[in-house]
Chains A and B, each alone.
Chain A
Amino acid sequence: QVQLVQSGAEVKKPGSSVKVSCKASGGTFSNYPINWVRQAPGQGLEWMGRIIPILGILNYAQNFQGRVTITADKSTNTVYMELSSLRSEDTAVYYCARGGTLGFDSWGQGTLVTVSS
């Protein structure tokens, strides 16, 4: 089964951007959507957006429209999530997750992004 491996923790300044990667290990993304979900410390799960890599179809959550960009590199089976204009409230663990009609059945290990001056 495909495993999702994410890039390492990041520390960023307010106003800057962060780019987190999610690589399919042991296979490809195929035609499954790859989603990004974040979880602030001690808080619940928040969906940010998704991409279907093979088709390039994108959906973004309204809360993140204009600030998040999700891209895919099919040659390396890697999906990227870039979040701009960072503020302290963006401090969270960011997860990628494979999701289709059978739910979000495979998750990356999470990437902690800390926004601090």
Chain B
Amino acid sequence: EIVLTQSPGTLSLSPGERATLSCRASQSVNSNYLGWYQQKPGQAPRLLIYGASSRATGIPDRFSGSVSGTDFTLTISRLEPEDFALYYCQQYGSSPTFGQGTRLEIK
């Protein structure tokens, strides 16, 4: 099983700042089948990024994803008030797994 470790657990920032969320995989992720999801209270997760760096339909371009080996990064260039939420990374290969999540909170 591929274990995904997200850091930090909580990130406190202000609107307009840049957010950098990390996700490290315990082994290589097949074909970069790595996604990022945003979840708000009482809602289902929403896909932001797939294939490590491709934005899903309708996702603003302030969200971007990158990869270096087994290290994946979600960057939000300028935080909007609606971006404060929980974020999960996921590898969706043969046996999908999720990271434990990063909470992005208003400072």
A residues sitting closer than 8 Å to B (CB atoms) are 35, 44-47, 59, 61-62, 95, 97, 99, 101-105, 107-110
Residues 87-107 of B contacting A (Cβ, < 8 Å): 88, 90, 92, 94-101
Contacts of A103 in B (CB 8 A): 33, 35, 47, 49-51, 56, 90, 92
A37 to chain B, nearest CB (A): 8
Chain B interface extent, by class: 20 to 34
Q: Does A107 contact B44, Cβ atoms closer than 8 Å?
A: yes
Contacts A95-B44, A102-B51 given; indicate if A59 touches B94 (C-beta within 8 A).
yes
- Pairwise interchain contact B90-A104, C-beta atoms closer than 8 A: yes
Distance, CA A109 to CA B42, complexed state (A): 9
A105 to B46, CA, bound (A): 7
When A and B form their complex, what is the total count of cross-chain residue pairs whose Cβ atoms lie within 8 Å?
Answer: 60
- Bound together, the chains give a CA A26 to CA B96 distance in angstroms of 27
**Chain B residue at smallest Cβ distance from A60:** B95
Q: Are B35 and A107 in contact (CB under 8 A)?
A: no
Q: Does B45 contact A (CB under 8 A)?
A: yes
Does residue B61 face the partner (Cβ distance < 8 Å to A)?
no
Complex A-B: 11 CB contacts under 8 Å: A44-B100, A45-B45, A45-B90, A45-B98, A59-B94, A102-B50, A103-B90, A103-B92, A104-B45, A105-B57, A110-B44
Once the chains are docked, how many angstroms separate the CA of A109 from the CA of B33? 24
A112 CB to closest chain B CB, in angstroms? 11
Contacts of B50 in A (CB 8 A): 102-103, 105
Task: Write the nearest CB–CB distance from A8 to chain B, whole angstroms.
Answer: 15
